[in-house]
Amino acid sequence: MGFQWTDREVVHLLLRAGFGSTKEEVAACVALGREETVRRLVAGEPLLTNAPMLVPFDQFHADGKKAMDPLQLADQQTYWLYRMVNSPAPLIEKMTLFWHGHFATANYKVKDTTLMVGQNELFRKLALGNFKELLTEVGKDPAMMIWLDVNQNKKGKPNENYAREVMELFTLGIGHYTEMDVKESARAFTGWAYNKNEHQIQYNAKQHDNDSKMILGESGKFGADEVIDVLFHQQSLPTFLATKLLNYFAADTPPDSWVQSISELVAKKQTIGEVLQVLFLSDEFYADTYRMSLIKTPAEYVAGILKCCKLSVAKGHAQAMRKMGQELYSPPDVAGWRGGATWLTTNCLLARYQFAESIAKQVNGQSLTAAEFTPEQSDSPLEWAKLWALRMGIPLLSEQTMKSLSSYASDTFVHTKQPKQQTAGLRGLLQLVLISPEAQMT
């Protein structure tokens, strides 16, 4: 297609590669151009010249509290949401969430907030780096070791939990390994343990099975690192990862040709960042077919609204995510969140509506009547609907939604001069925009 780089393309990119956008970020990215915008995202460089730095955890305040407790999971959940909303490196934060779902680990079994946050920092550090390095590090991550019972994996009595998930969920996918491959890999992973008392990862050579193993057609006296090498010899690995990346960033059902091209990049490029750079620069990524085609995760929905409304993050916002079906640091099981239509069950959708109502009440009247939220044609209900959708990061509204929003604006505040009635109408419009079908999509 004859490629354009307008507000619409920027909003699409920042919805997918981050957690939404502000008016200032959109303008900056339009000026930067596609190549420079993508380069900055992948490099973790701010999109805005004077982007504020993140406040460190020990200086972060929420709900009027003077200090947050690093050992309280709710405080850490709130702080991570703050990072999603305010990070000057949104793609790194988005990939941190991706890896959290990919290597799903939950605190309800780990029972140690410090270890969960440590794993989160590992994901953030290697978010756009080398996948093999990340996979190797995850295997020696304390939270993961507790989550998948690595301490119980000993010579003569191997525990298969980690070996199974490393193949099924982390690298190859179902159908690309056998039960014998799992059993043999479990033997290869023996010897590693996490000492809770000393807070240390330990390797006990006496507990490692050093006999020969046959894994995925290769034989040897394999240990943990050698198993990873064998996994990366499999053709199914780049295809598996490419599919997950496309599902997360681009399309629920990407065509085989797209999966194949991204798979080749995964196999060839040294880092995930390089793969995503090609994806975000491709014309296909911006095709109309794929815009507004993915259902927002609760994290995307909540963080995006807070970002657009420029609201401070509070504990209640992270708790709202849980009601929507996504509790940070607590994915439901080893397979992580299912995503897609599961985000829009009756209870989850009701939680979104309730959140939208609470946000409309939180935004102060001065913000609602600010110049950036007032169209030039202030007597046009249609222009109010268009502008407010754009300010909430919704690049396109259906004819039916536009008609409903315009009708509401006309009936409640466009033609009134009474401040109270106007403010109430504006709050209602904001709430309707946020619960619109398009607001649930990215």
Dump pLDDT digits (tens) for 236-251: 999 999 999 999 999 9
Q: Record the pTM.
A: 0.97
The DSSP output letter for 400 is: H
Where residue 1 falls among pLDDT bands split at 50, 70, 90? very low
Dump pLDDT digits (tens) for 24-43: 999 999 999 999 999 999 99
**Alpha helices in 250-340, H assignment, sequence order:** 256-268, 272-281, 298-309, 315-323
> Distance between CA atoms of 267 and 423, rounded to whole angstroms?
55
* Among 388, 304, 287, CA closest to 97: 304
Dump pLDDT digits (tens) for 40-76: 999 999 999 999 999 999 999 998 777 899 999 999 9
> Distance between CA atoms of 294 and 270, rounded to whole angstroms?
28
Rounded to an integer, the average pLDDT of 286-310 is 97
Dump pLDDT digits (tens) for 181-201: 999 999 999 999 999 999 999
Give the CB-side neighbour count of residue 425, counting CA atoms within 13 A: 22
Mean pLDDT of the chain: 97
- Position 63 scores a pLDDT of 85
Q: How far is CA 378 from CA 189, 384, 385, 410, in A?
A: 66, 7, 11, 11
* Among 213, 104, 232, CA closest to 171: 232
Q: How far is CA 98 from CA 148, 299, 326, in A?
A: 19, 11, 13
- Position 2 scores a pLDDT of 56
Rounded to an integer, the average pLDDT of 370-385 is 95
Rounded to an integer, the average pLDDT of 99-104 is 98
Strands, E, within 146-279: which ranges?
A: 192-195, 200-203, 213-215, 218-220
- Position 86 scores a pLDDT of 98
- Position 3 scores a pLDDT of 77
How far is residue 229 CA from its own chain's centroid? 28
CB 221 within 8 A of CB 200: no
> Distance between CA atoms of 131 and 137, rounded to whole angstroms?
10
Helix, strand, coil percentages for the chain (3-state, nearest 5): 60, 5, 35
- Position 103 scores a pLDDT of 98
> Distance between CA atoms of 279 and 247, rounded to whole angstroms?
12
> Distance between CA atoms of 152 and 132, rounded to whole angstroms?
24
* Among 41, 44, 73, 50, CA closest to 328: 73
> Distance between CA atoms of 145 and 217, rounded to whole angstroms?
27
Does residue 270 have a pLDDT over 70? yes
> Distance between CA atoms of 425 and 431, rounded to whole angstroms?
10
What is the share, in percent, of the chain residues with pLDDT greater than 90? Answer: 97
